[in-house]
Amino acid sequence: MSIEDPYELLSKWFEAKEYLVVGKSVTRSDSIEKAIGKARFLEDYYEPGRMLFVKQLLSTEPHAIIESIDYSDALKLTNIVGVFTAKNIPGINNVGYALPDQPLLAEGKVRYHGEPIALIASWDIDDAFKALEMIRVKYKRLTPIYDPLEAMERKDILIHDEQGSNIAFTTKVRKGDIERGFSESSTIVKNTYKTHHQEHAYLETEAALAIPDIQGRINIISCAQYPHLAQRIVSKVLGIPASNIRIITPYIGGAFGGKDDEGPLVAAKAALVAYLTGKPAFLIYSREESIRIHPKREATIIEYTSGVDDNGYLKAIKVKIIHDTGAYTNRGPYILWRATMHSSGPYYVPNAWVDGYCVYTNKVPQGSFRGFGNPSIQFAVESQMDELAKKLGIDPIELRLKNLLRPGMDTITGQKLDHSVGVADLVDKLARKMEWSKVRRELEDWNKRSNRYKRGLGIGVAWHGISTSRGVPDWSNAYIKIERDGSVNVYTGIVEIGQGTPTTSYRQIVAEALGAPLEYINVVFGTTDAPDTGATHASRGTSIGAIGVLVAAAKIRERLNRLASDILKTNPENIVIRNGRVFDKISNREIRWEELIQEAYNRGVEVSATGYFYLPKGKFDDKIGQGFAYPAYSFVAVAVLVEIDTWTGKVRVLKAWPGLAAGKIINPTQVEGQIEGAIAQGIGYVLYEKLEFGSKGEILNADLTDYVIPTIQDVTLDVEKPVYVEDKYKYGPFGAKGVGEMAFIPLPAAIANAVSHALNKRVTTLPLTPENVLKLIGGL
């Protein structure tokens, strides 16, 4: 019997002292394919004329009863095969993730301008567009509400009647005794912070192609970040077993969380048409549709009070978080939950009182976006820290170092963190390396000499729970089989959205654990043919997703070690498999990898395995918001230098210094790519990006001309090499924690703190468009 207990296997590899490929900047296997246009994205599968083209009819009202939908004229067009509405849905017209409040196609009522109402299926694109203009929807208008504060108060206007209130969901934390905490505080700071929506603006818009096959199954080429979730949603909408639905994911042109929310719905819409017509159906969102329909980063209002004692130790926080969830909650409750449980920042706070409200309005829904509720709350936390430091007259880094979590301390939810807490080391190391104090001092001198331009240095420190929240089950799995020629196939549900997990770190992990050459490893990603691996979100693709990959590979490795020891007449412990060489380290006798695998087939040793791993979690008491929140936290700190033109209000980020405590770094280049990408996205969010809403709650800038994301001239190219603290996490693969979302999270805080430093004025509202900066200075 070989040892195949996942915990033992994980800890065995966790102890590894040296690595063959893990920790190296292995080049991704998909780069060249992508560069020469061979990599297939969604639209590449569409064949005009041979597949139905699906076009969506969207609501032009923010809040209204649908009295009738008349598409009889549209059906007269030669190429129109059908127009489908809620009443054509054979299964359940409910796709809400957190609460059952969202229809796939509007039913009875529309709740935002842009909400999908009907699907037009046409053999030709022209007719699809024509049909769109021929459908008449009769609305009975209801009063819309756009302001979440107003929505919370109003009982006479309900966006969801069945809820009885516009407050969809609440959260809380009650820790210690805040009255005592504040009475022990000598310095108290109170502020209200506001953050705005962010559009993902992935360069590939959403699409799906659903193809019925002869066995009665529906195959869907999908852009969802979680194939098995798309499968579940489609199954529910169509009312057919999940086993009849197969999801395949091609390369995805960016996702950032947006395709986690919208992806399954796109798949369901295409599948609905394919199911009803029996024909392959292709749905693609235009850029305008993409911006109007899919959920956005949360817009928030946060009231935050914090107190510190004379020695600069945090004593208490009181926080009220309001999330404008728009027309549907989508993942809003989870987002709010995450924000609430991160509302202390990575600091030790003995007393906390936090209330969170997820509030409906008649706007585009709120959803998942890199950081998932955390960037806005860390912006509030870190602004508070700077204000406290200022009032105390101490350096912002010094105040943070006093309060940062250390191993053995408990979090805001009373969860004790026993290991993998590298944040204090990280901040200390980063501050030293970048010479924080010296740079700050030099800037203050520089500002004395400069009238028009002002410079500032700010830092944001943040934490981010890895995996899904609370006791919500999380697991990992993968299926690996070694083919007779020694090449290896890895099947995973994790998708490739740009992060490179399947094409780099998975290959590295498998090559490391099996000892097979890296180029022998092929990863089949994003498919429901693989065991349910969970979603590619919450920075879990490598941290959690890869556990299953490692466990499966490690199981096979145990078997191979035993087989090799039989062949080479030695103990399994003496077997080394490295880069395709299999040898006994005592006698140096050797065989080749291919021979070993051939022998495995000959002697009946199974060279395939699944790697199921169930993440151990604790209990959480929702009534007081105390208990086990997350299995582990990644930590991040980013410092930025900004320059402000006080005449025009323009802000430029001149330089950024990132640092990360995310356990073992499996591929440094990939991690840097995630950091640099997140910094650019953060700069975009804070300085340029802003959705503009019209009088009907409609998005006025639903294009990339007026929703401006950073160009190559708008980011800083001066991003220092990251500082790493490899605070390994015991269940992570080789000790890795999550990376993908991390650098975004402290960015709003870091930029806001830098601007506040430069101007000597507290930033409390984002974005920092030139106009808003001038207002802050009092110049407008």
Residues in touch with ligand FES (CB under 6 A): 203, 254, 498
CA 776 to chain centre: 31
Pick one of other proteins, ligand FES, none as the site partner of residue 717 (Cβ within 5 to 8 A by kind).
other proteins
Stretch that binds other proteins, among 24-32, 95-103, 135-143, 395-403 (CB under 8 A): 24-32
Task: Using the minimum distance from each CB to ligand FES, give the nearer residue, 500 or 659.
Answer: 500
Q: Residue 203 or 780: which CB sits closer to ligand FES? A: 203
> Which of the ranges 81-89, 245-253, 509-517, 542-550 carries the binding residues for other proteins, by CB under 8 A?
245-253
For residue 212, the tally of other CB atoms under 10 A from its CB is: 18
562 binds other proteins (CB under 8 A): no
Q: Shortest distance, CB of residue 759 to other proteins, whole angstroms?
A: 17
32 binds other proteins per the rule CB under 8 A: yes
Does 202 bind other proteins (CB under 8 A)? Our answer is yes
Q: Least Å distance between CB 712 and other proteins?
A: 5
CA distance 745 to 635: 10
Least gap, CB of 769 to ligand FES (angstroms): 24
Q: Which of 9, 22, 30, 85 binds other proteins (CB under 8 A)?
A: 30
Pair of tokens at residue 504:
């780099």
- Residues 342 to 371: which contact other proteins by CB under 8 A? none
The interface region with other proteins, picked from 188-196, 248-256, 585-593, 598-606 by CB under 8 A, is 248-256
**Subset of 751-780 contacting other proteins (CB under 8 A):** 769-771, 774, 779-780
- For residue 93, which of 103, 106, 107 has the smallest C-alpha distance? 103
Contact 768, 686 (CB under 8 A): yes
CA distance to 139, 299, 340, 522, per residue, from 197 (Å): 28, 5, 18, 39
> Which of these ranges, 412-420, 526-534, 576-584, 708-716, lies near other proteins under the rule CB under 8 A?
708-716
Of 285 and 657, nearer to ligand FES (C-beta) is: 285
CB 656 within 8 A of CB 640: yes
Using CB under 8 A as the binding criterion, the count of chain residues that bind other proteins stands at 79
Q: Which is nearer to other proteins, 1 or 36 (CB)?
A: 36
Distance CA 337, CA 95 (A): 20
Residue 413 near which of other proteins, ligand FES, none (CB within 5-8 Å, type-dependent): none
β-pairing, 613-614 vs 475-476, is antiparallel
* Identified binder of other proteins from the candidate list 1, 15, 36, 216, rule CB under 8 A: 36
The helix/strand count (H/E) of the chain reads as 22, 30
Minimum gap (Å) between residue 292 Cβ and other proteins: 13
Tell me the chain's radius of gyration from C-alpha atoms. 27
Q: Of other proteins, ligand FES, none, which one does residue 715 interact with (CB within 5 to 8 Å by kind)?
A: other proteins
DSSP 655-705: EEEEEEE-BS-S-HHHHHHHHHHHHHHHHIIIII----B-TTS-BS--STT
Burial class of residue 694, CB neighbours in 10 A (0-12, 13-18, 19+):
exposed
719 is in the binding site of which of other proteins, ligand FES, none (Cβ under 5 to 8 A by kind)? other proteins
Question: Site for other proteins (CB under 8 A): which residue of 91, 96, 176, 254?
Answer: 254
326 beta partners: 360
Q: Which is nearer to other proteins, 184 or 288 (CB)?
A: 288
The residues facing 55 across adjacent strands are 120
CB of 643 to ligand FES, least distance (A): 27
Residue 586 binds which entry of ligand FES, other proteins, none, CB below 5-8 Å type-dependent: none
Burial of 17 by CB count in 10 Å (0-12 exposed, 13-18 middle, 19+ buried)?
Answer: exposed
Three-state SS for 245?
Answer: strand
Closest to 132 measured CA to CA, from 117, 143, 145: 117
Of 491, 546, 482, 492, the closest CA to residue 520 belongs to: 482
Read off φ and ψ for residue 224, nearest 5 degrees.
Answer: -70, 150
Q: Which of the listed partners (ligand FES, other proteins, none) does 648 bind, with a CB threshold of 5 to 8 Å by partner kind?
A: other proteins
Residue nearest to ligand FES (CB): 203
Q: Are 500 and 230 in contact (CB under 8 A)?
A: no
Backbone angles phi, psi at 206, to 5 degrees: -70, 145
Give dist(CA 437, CA 739) in Å, integer: 28
286 lines the binding site for other proteins (CB under 8 A): yes
Does residue 443 contact residue 457 with C-beta atoms inside 8 Å? yes
Among the listed residues 23, 116, 367, 498, the single contact to other proteins using CB under 8 A? 498
SS3 string, 247-265, reads EECCCCCCCCCHHHHCHHH
Which residues does 413 contact at the CB level (< 8 Å), separation at least 6? 173, 175, 341, 620, 625, 626, 627, 628, 629
Residue 205 within binding range of other proteins, rule CB under 8 A: yes
395 binds, among other proteins, ligand FES, none (CB under 5 to 8 A by kind): none
- Contact between 654 and other proteins per CB under 8 A: no
Q: Sort residue 598 into left (φ over 0), alpha (ψ -120 to 50) or beta.
A: alpha
Find the DSSP H helices in 368-435: 374-392, 396-403, 423-434
d(CA 405, CA 384): 17
Q: Pick from 572, 673, 765, 777 the residue near other proteins by CB under 8 A.
A: 673
Q: CB of 565: closest distance to other proteins in angstroms?
A: 39
Query: Site residues for other proteins, window 565-604 (CB under 8 A)?
Result: none
The verdict on 712 binding other proteins (CB under 8 A) reads: yes
Task: Judge whether 639 and 660 are in contact, CB under 8 Å.
Answer: no
41 binds other proteins (CB under 8 A): yes
Least separation in angstroms between residue 127's CB and other proteins is 10
Which entry of other proteins, ligand FES, none binds 673, CB below 5 to 8 A by partner kind? other proteins
Q: How far is the CB of 254 from ligand FES (least distance, A)?
A: 5
- From 724, 646, 642, 636, select the one nearest 439 (Cα to Cα): 642
Site string for other proteins, 115-144 (x = CB under 8 A): ----------xx--x---------------
| Residue 713 beta carbon to other proteins: minimum distance, rounded to whole angstroms | 4
Six token digits for residue 189: 């700071």
- What is the C-alpha to C-alpha distance for residues 166 and 158, in angstroms, rounded to an integer? 6
Select 678 or 736, whichever has its Cβ closest to other proteins: 678
DSSP state of 76: T
Which of 665, 678, 725, 745 touches other proteins (CB under 8 A)?
A: 678
Give the nearest distance from C-beta 498 to ligand FES in angstroms: 5
Which of 261, 512, 643, 676 binds other proteins (CB under 8 A)? It is 676
- Nearer to ligand FES among residue 253 and residue 735 (C-beta): 253
CB of 630 to other proteins, least distance (A): 26
Minimum distance between the CB of residue 768 and ligand FES, rounded to whole angstroms? 24
Distance of CA 45 to the CA centre of its chain: 27
Tokens representing residue 720 in the block: 């220092």
Based on CB atoms, which residue is closest to ligand FES, 93 or 290? 290
The least distance separating other proteins from the CB of residue 243, rounded to whole angstroms, comes to: 31
Is residue 257 close enough to count as binding other proteins by CB under 8 A?
Answer: no
**112-120, 422-430, 582-590, 679-687 -> range binding other proteins (CB under 8 A):** 679-687
